[in-house]
Structure 1
């Protein structure tokens, strides 16, 4: 490689260190890890500054090592920004996952520094010693888990489990998480909302817990603000006192007072702008219940709207401005078009390193915000990224498929990606790419499959056997990506046969038998779809699932009980032996309870099962009665 490539990579490293160094100091429960990572990255700065001033050209080995270090620093910057801008409640509740990400970045940086040959670089002894010291610090930090703030986690546990939480506990939480003002809480609400929108359609139980905790903290901070103002003057008190908003008047997504409440197919009510944003992002589930939406018609809730208006009038509260509840609060200043054009030129370069670096930067830009996703697509990046899916370089291939994944969050980009002929190439990455590329290919196929026509094309391209293979062999995240994609694809009847013939049933049964793997919800949901097809019924029946289904009927979550009832009902319609076995295992009592307390769909399934139990009982007693009469 020539001197130009070396100069470019050194300058980009200088810029990266500067960006990380300028991140604002943040006091949080993880400030030690945050501070240490920023401090160590800062200490690498003099190395790159000296290399920039040097007259010597970097050799190929050094350029390769610095490209690896750049990728590691990009990962570090992404993690630090997530810590700074993301939901603090999420970070507190998912501490172990955050710490694992920190350890991954630490290991990446240590490995990248390990690949640098300092004796081949024109740097001073002082700088070399400083970098070697930083390298040693990263090596010692690998795998180390700092002692958690026990008071914080005790307070979190208390707030999660107690309906009426002691104000002293909420005060400590407010201070520990830096959620002390109304503005802090608004930012937290927006961060939480952005996280849900970008989740793959399944925010899970953590979202419910975060929503409940955020509401408690909001109520606490509001009451504190009222008390503070009251101590200043009676007039100020009257202006700032805020009545507690009834829970039913708050949108479950934004937690703000609703102006235009609408009802979705599950019967849940949301602020129209919030649920519309959720649906526009391609989700087909109810955010609160996680049930699949049979349709996306939004029905105005006129009764609730009238009640909210009356409450506002009685309490002197101004109705929120229309469609304001779900604004992100972020600047829409656009994107750096010149920088994007420059990256696109590098995508067409014959230099593999340039291609890889450009694809990596586009991947991060597309992840960062909606404006970038629009700008990158308009600049013509999608066909170029699709071409790179067949790159012989695994890292370039991974960057390309992940950039397409991030671009596909924008609905209009989904069509552009498919029109560029991406589906067969994404399936090829899913079949033969590195593990991270395969996982992101699965996530991309899920994102594209929210469009019904794409379900057919993806299934026809041979994606389903590869997704089943990933479901068996992938990492925990890979298995979830595969399961989510399979669920969405199998909504189309033709793909159910493909999944059954690809052998999906036995891996799903193994996931049911491993509650610690965290995939029970997904496995039951997919089986509940497959059981609606004759071949699916037969394959599931052969796996002898009835004992497990009865156990889920007794002890599962509401969603799992509903799906277990659907699967059992599907089996019982074709083979009475399944019904007899369920009855022997005591399923009838659990089904009766579900018919009384389950979701609307669960009650319907349970009612049908009870009718089958009744018919079975009548048939069993019929011979005895005939014998007596004779």
Structure 2
């Protein structure tokens, strides 16, 4: 009875009033101060979440409340900014990467693009293309964050002493850095393992690491990582975790030893570690300045090799990293020179990850040598076959876009297309039923044929 009184109407009403006052104070501070902090917005969001919970509890029927835990609703901290969609402000369900390198919830960015926008909502830069790439890393992080927040609601687990550091202690951080440079292998391994756990769980810890990233890549530690697989695996995971933080992304990208370390890991480590290395390069490549650095450092060839190898754990991240890197013209040229077109086309013909492979081919075919290779590999008939299959409208759009580029770069391909079109009317069907872009491209090819 005492417990139900604590969670009763009067205490809830009092809590609501207090939270509304606090929210008003926070909102006024944010509106009036130009240089307001992220913490202030997070605090305001937390209050809104708590008010929403109280409101839901007030309007729910008694039988609906039976499935809820018997404790008072409290202010639940909102997701960290990197896990929220910049458009909706909500925790992302299906994070995807736009051509600008920004990540959005697929539902909201698709609506933005369907409304006719040709720019990135965050940067306001014109988009070179509107292809969306699944951000598997952010999705994994969101899943982990959700599980951790659920477990935090259990006081029993909290009292059990689970190590979860939200506000990194400065003294603890300083001690950890000293141990990372320890001459003792066992102590160094333990410090790296602890850093991996903290960098995975705590956003504040990731932010605090900004000034200490070079210490992760001192000569002694890297030499040991080359000899001990477990140490290399932990270091790769740390780079991936730290790179989620925007400021760290630039610092890691501008640390040559870090990029070379990831590239070497792509070549000769066990598959889980190689997957993390590919994912780390994908995250780092979302920053434009890093695209140039990563490309010049020689990452493209081992990423192509991972795609050709085709392991389920690595191929998607490797393809997404290549796609991101190839938004830069010189990286596109290197990818073509290093044999990407052959590898990607074979994957399409084998019906393996067609979405991802077509995304990359659609970018690469702006290079003349790529068009020539596509023609030699028999890509025209392959793409026309895909158009006749029951595939997504987006994939049909990509196929038509590639064919369109091929036709206008190599007139000899028109005869091959004309022979198939006369028999099957493949492009004519797309011109009537495809997306607006697919219809436009298909009509362009048909006009060329006529």
Corresponding residue number in structure 1 for 2:449:
613
The answer to whether the 8 Å contact 2:166/2:202 transfers is no
Deviation at 1:543, TM superposition (A): 0.9
Structure 2 residue corresponding to 1:267, chosen from 115, 121, 127: 115
Q: 1:409 to 1:566 in 2, by over 3 A?
A: same
Deviation at 1:264, TM superposition (A): 4.2
Deviation at 1:491, TM superposition (A): 1.3
Deviations 1:552-571 (A, max 9, x none): 22332122111111111122
Corresponding residue number in structure 1 for 2:205:
372
Q: 1:333 to 1:510 in 2, by over 3 A?
A: same
Distance 2:116 2:382 in 1: 30
Distance 1:200 1:443 in 2: 13
Query: 2:360 aligned with 1:522, yes or no?
Result: no
Corresponding residue number in structure 2 for 1:501:
337
Distance 2:431 2:202 in 1: 45
Distance 1:393 1:284 in 2: 43
Distance 1:354 1:601 in 2: 58
Distance 1:543 1:509 in 2: 8
Query: 2:427 aligned with 1:594, yes or no?
Result: no
Corresponding residue number in structure 2 for 1:562:
397
Corresponding residue number in structure 2 for 1:393:
228
Query: 2:196 aligned with 1:363, yes or no?
Result: yes
Deviation at 1:476, TM superposition (A): 0.7
Structure 1 residue corresponding to 2:413, chosen from 578, 588, 592: 578
Corresponding residue number in structure 2 for 1:540:
374
Corresponding residue number in structure 1 for 2:215:
384
Structure 2 residue corresponding to 1:450, chosen from 264, 267, 286: 286
Corresponding residue number in structure 2 for 1:139:
none
Moved beyond 4 Å, runs of 4+? 186-202, 262-266, 283-286, 328-333
Distance 1:389 1:604 in 2: 53
Distance 1:545 1:490 in 2: 20
* 1:34-113 superposed matches below 5 A: none
Corresponding residue number in structure 1 for 2:237:
402
Q: Structure 2 stretches of 5 or more lacking a match?
A: 1-63, 85-89, 100-104, 135-148, 154-164
The answer to whether the 8 Å contact 1:285/1:291 transfers is no
Give the alignment's Cα RMSD to 1 decimal: 4.2
The answer to whether the 8 Å contact 1:423/1:461 transfers is yes
Aligned residue pairs: how many? 336
Q: Structure 1 stretches of 5 or more lacking a match?
A: 1-173, 212-251, 254-261, 293-327, 615-630
Deviations 1:198-230 (A, max 9, x none): 67679xxxx87xx8xxxxxxxxxxxxxxxxxxx
* Larger relative contact order, structure 1 or 2 (CA cutoff 8 Å, min sep 6): 2
Distance 2:347 2:241 in 1: 28
Deviation at 1:433, TM superposition (A): 3.4
The SS at the match of 1:335 is: coil
Deviation at 1:265, TM superposition (A): 5.0
Deviation at 1:607, TM superposition (A): 2.7
Distance 2:316 2:222 in 1: 22
Q: State the TM-score, normalized to the length of structure 1.
A: 0.46
Q: 1:464 to 1:285 in 2, by over 3 A?
A: same
Corresponding residue number in structure 1 for 2:316:
480
Distance 1:458 1:402 in 2: 18
